[in-house]
């Protein structure tokens, strides 16, 4: 199964809109054949996200251990500082809400007793509400396939007209009993909103 890699990077003395940065990122995308998309964080303009698809988690791990890593990613070292990366199974990049003006990238740390519960009906109903609330944009979510030992993490990517629309949806959802039933299993949550650096959204 292909895996989506979501990587957070910090800008080093360069703007997210700098043509030189976009050229460097595009060159790496072409070499890696990951069909990567580049996103700029709204809340923290010093951060960017790279979303790319690998044939498997092993394929990415093997690349990171190979001499090709330095050859392909070396030119980015003066522009970007690695923060973190997570992986989730995903069939295709087209399953992401890439056409949305804003994408919400949500990392959910799940309590041990929530792993089974979040596979049951209450989560299914909550997910249905999210799908309805984000229309016409897609929702991509799943379990992280490379979690830290003893940890359980889920990833969700949703599309919105703007960050405010997501905030309004969340505020309304908090009044819903099903949302409370899901949220009690969260140990932690990290949400970021970002825009496509190449302007491919509306």
Q: For the domain that residue 119 is a member of, what is the CATH number?
A: 3.30.70.100
> Is 21 within a domain?
yes
The two beta strands, 102-110 and 152-160, are antiparallel
Q: Please, what is the average pLDDT of the chain? A: 90
The answer, yes or no, to whether residue 200 has pLDDT greater than 60, is no
**Model pLDDT for residues 28-51, shown as the tens digit of each residue:** 999 999 999 999 999 999 999 999
Residue holding tokens 């580049």? 38
**90 within 8 A of 2, measured Cβ to Cβ:** yes
> Is 201 within a domain?
no
Q: Do 84 and 106 sit in the same domain of this protein?
A: no
The answer, yes or no, to whether residue 202 has pLDDT greater than 50, is no
Q: Do 85 and 155 sit in the same domain of this protein?
A: no
Number of domains in the chain: 2
> Is 48 within a domain?
yes
Dihedral sign from CA coordinates of 190, 195, 201, 202: positive
Q: Do 67 and 99 sit in the same domain of this protein?
A: no
> Is 202 within a domain?
no
Q: Do 76 and 153 sit in the same domain of this protein?
A: no
The contacts of residue 198 (CB under 8 Å, 6+ apart) are 22, 37, 38
Q: Do 45 and 138 sit in the same domain of this protein?
A: no
> Is 28 within a domain?
yes
The answer, yes or no, to whether residue 17 has pLDDT greater than 60, is yes
Range of the domain at 180: 95-196
Give pTM, 2 decimals. Answer: 0.92
> Is 56 within a domain?
yes
How confident is the model at residue 120, as a pLDDT? 61
Please identify, among 66, 91, 116, the residue that sits at the C-terminal boundary of a domain: 91
Residue scoring higher pLDDT (89 or 112) = 89
């Amino acid at each position: 199964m292909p895996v989506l890699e979501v990587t957070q990077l910090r800008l080093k003395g360069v703007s997210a809109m700098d043509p030189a940065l976009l050229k460097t990122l595009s060159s790496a995308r072409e070499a890696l054949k990951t069909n990567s998309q580049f996103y700029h964080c709204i809340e923290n303009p010093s951060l960017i996200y790279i979303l790319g698809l690998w044939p498997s988690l092993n394929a990415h791990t093997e690349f990171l251990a190979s001499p090709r890593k330095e050859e392909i990613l070396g030119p980015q070292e003066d522009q970007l500082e690695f923060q973190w990366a997570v992986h989730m199974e995903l069939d295709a990049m087209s399953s992401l809400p890439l056409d949305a003006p804003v994408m919400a990238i949500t990392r959910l740390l799940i309590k041990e007793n929530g792993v089974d519960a979040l596979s049951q009906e209450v989560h299914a109903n909550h997910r249905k509400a999210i799908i309805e609330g984000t229309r016409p944009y897609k929702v991509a979510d799943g379990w992280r396939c490379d979690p830290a030992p003893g940890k359980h993490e889920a990833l969700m990517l949703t599309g919105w007209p703007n960050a405010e629309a997501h905030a309004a949806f969340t505020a309304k959802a908090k009044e819903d009993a099903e949302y409370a039933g899901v949220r009690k299993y969260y140990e932690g949550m990290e949400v970021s909103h970002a825009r496509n650096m190449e302007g491919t959204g509306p």
